[in-house]
Amino acid sequence: MGSLKTHRQGMVAEAIAGWFLNAKGYRVLARRYKTPVGEIDLVVKRGRMVAFIEVKRRANVDDGLYAVHAQNAARVRRAAEWWLKNHASLADKCDLRFDVIAIAPYRLIRHVSNAF
């Protein structure tokens, strides 16, 4: 039962992150983009920037930021390469970035650009 609750909380956190990024002027291109090598929580675009977003929900924001470790980053990078192969027209015209959004109950959302 715990994993279902965790899954739901993760989906809610990703939805909140999407709304947050929309408010900051980003357009969501993909949510929960699944590839054979991993998943990207959000792919967003603002101007010439395409960002691959890892969303972490934890009890506090710092724990969310620390939860993104080298294996996480490598998985997101591999999935981003897959996404870029399937969206070559954007890949050629845009700058790329890897961000983290940390969400915690009753705390401000933290968005770290170029996190890894």
- Give the sheet arrangement for strand 38-46, strand by strand: 27-35, 38-46, 49-57, 95-103, 110-112
**What confidence score (pLDDT) does residue 2 get?**
64
Domains of the chain: 2-112 (3.40.1350.10)
**What confidence score (pLDDT) does residue 66 get?**
85
**What confidence score (pLDDT) does residue 65 get?**
87
Please give the Cα distance from 14 to 42 (Å, whole number).
8
**What confidence score (pLDDT) does residue 70 get?**
92
pTM: 0.90
The β-bridge partners of 45 are 27, 50
Provide the residue-wise pLDDT of the chain in tens; the chain has 116 residues. 568 887 788 899 999 999 999 999 999 999 999 999 999 999 999 999 999 999 999 999 988 888 898 998 999 999 999 999 999 888 788 899 999 999 999 999 999 999 98
Q: Are 98 and 54 in contact (CB under 8 A)?
A: yes
